Each structure stands twice: as C-alpha cells, then as structure tokens.
Amino acid sequence: MRKVIQANEVSNLVKSGDTLLVGGFGLSGSPLTLIYELLHSDVSELTVVSNNLGEDGLGLHKLFEAGKIKKMVGSFFSTNKPAVTAWQKGELEIDLIPQGTLAEAIRAGGAGIGGFYTKTAVGTELAEGKEERVINGERYIFEKAIKGDVSFVKAAKADKLGNLIYHTTARNFNPLVATAGKIVIAEVDEIVEVGQLDPEQIITPHAYVDYVIQSKFVKQGVNYVESR
C-alpha cells in the first residue's frame, strides 16, 4: 500500500461531521500542514479532540475561525478568548476533560478498552453525572474511551512504511492519537527509506499509520513557519 501522499489529498479523507483527533500541546507537535489543508475544503461540523484549540491564533484556532469546528473536546481553552466568547454565545460546544483523563481516554480508545476508572476529578464538577465506584477503599469515576474517524499526527520522521519517531516534547499526545483513529495521517519533517529508522527508537509502529505527508513547516526561532 502506498502510504506517502500529497498534502492536497488530505481533505478527501475527512468528511463533514467527523470526529478528528489531533496531536500537539499548544503548537508543539501540532500537525499544522494537515490542519491547514482543511481550511479551504468544504468540510464542516467537526468534533475535534485535542488538548488545546491551537495557540496564539494559530494551529487549530484557524480551523475554528474558519467555522469548521462544532465541538471541542480537550483540557484547556481558557486563554483562547475568541473560543470562550463563541462558547458563551452557544456557537461552540466544549467538553472539558482533565489532561490525564484525556490522554488515557485516547490511549484506551486505541487499545480496545471501553473505558476506565480514575481517581482524577472525583468529587469535582467535572465528575458530575459520571458513575462512581469504590475500589480498594478509594473513590474512582468512570471515563469512556475516545475514538476518532480521522487522526492527525505530527512526528519528526517516518519511513515509507509509516513507522514514526518523535522529537522531544513534540511527542505529547501524538503517539496516542496515532492509535485511535479509523484513518491515521502522519505529518512528518522527514520521510526516509525503510530500514533507516532504528527499530529500538520507533515509538509508533507502522501498523497504526495509514498515510504519511511531508510537513510544510520548519522551526524558525520561536515560530513554526511555512517553508518555501
């Protein structure tokens, strides 16, 4: 199967109303090329699962500005003023989940686990309506796993089979997201031949990855800029 595709083929893989899982923490490890490919497509009504809604008006924030996002599922949106305003006006649904619960829910989703009990958020507003159970004398709440229609992953390198390695803290949610989508697309800084990645270093085995694209972004100082 040919996995390496062109960026402009991405929008054909996403449908309106899909649940999109997106890696990244702020802009670190954010699949910017994949996200921006959707800006000019006619895809809309997306549910996006990601820790943040981009950062400083970039990344997923642009998708939100373009009116593509119906609902966000993540852990931290307070610093995104336009998103807060849209939520207040009822234009954006937000499902707020503690960061560790979000990570574990995506991990579970990709691992065939229906849900799990966690002690995080017990007794808080974020536990309201959730099943509670005492296990070995400790209180836990039940959290359902999260799965997606399409996953957008950012990695440092892929080989042509789709094996992935990551760079520093740009790993974050990416290896989890890579396991939990029906279609998994990885954007990478560099595509190498099969055999050029050390098997001991591979974090995401190629079985998880359906497509690979070359990133259009490079790091420049404190920014990620589109390369020419």
What is the CA angle 32-35-40, rounded to 5?
Answer: 125
Least Å distance between CB 92 and another protein? Answer: 10
Instruction: Give the side-chain half-sphere CA count within 13 A for 17.
Output: 0
- β-strands 138-144, 115-118: how paired? antiparallel
Q: Which of 71, 77, 130, 149 binds another protein (CB under 8 A)?
A: 77
Main-chain phi, psi angles of 116, to 5 degrees: -155, 160
Q: Which residues lie across from 219 on neighbouring strands? A: 224
Closest by CA to 18, choosing from 2, 42, 1, is 42
CA distance readout (Å), 189 to 44, 78, 86, 132, 157:
27, 30, 34, 44, 6
Number of residues that bind another protein (CB under 8 A): 55
Question: Smallest distance, Å, CB 93 to another protein?
Answer: 11
Q: Which is nearer to another protein, 35 or 43 (CB)?
A: 35
Q: Is 46 in the site for another protein (CB under 8 A)?
A: no
Q: Give the nearest distance from C-beta 2 to another protein in angstroms.
A: 28
Beta bridge partners of 140: 133
From 2-10, 59-67, 86-94, 205-213, give the range in contact with another protein by CB under 8 A: 86-94
Q: Is 64 in the site for another protein (CB under 8 A)?
A: no
Q: Does 99 bind another protein (CB under 8 A)?
A: yes
73 contacts 101 by C-beta, under 8 angstroms: no
> What does each C-alpha distance from 210 to 12, 136, 179 come to in angstroms?
14, 41, 11
Q: Does 157 bind another protein (CB under 8 A)?
A: no
Q: What are the backbone angles phi and psi of residue 100, rounded to the nearest 5°?
A: -70, -35
Among 34, 48, 106, 188, binds another protein (CB under 8 A): 106
Q: Rounded to the nearest whole angstrom, what is the least distance from the CB of residue 46 to another protein in the complex?
A: 18
* Chain residues 6-25 in contact with another protein, contact rule CB under 8 A: 25
**Which parts of 111-150 interact with another protein (CB under 8 A)?**
118-126, 139
The smaller minimum CB distance to another protein, of residues 42 and 90, is found at: 90
Question: What distance in Å separates the CA atoms of residue 198 and residue 200, rounded to the nearest whole number?
Answer: 5
Is 43 or 98 the residue whose CB approaches another protein more closely?
98
Q: Which residues bind another protein (CB under 8 A)?
A: 25-29, 51, 55, 75-79, 83-84, 87-88, 94, 96-104, 106-107, 118-126, 139, 166-176, 203, 219, 221-224
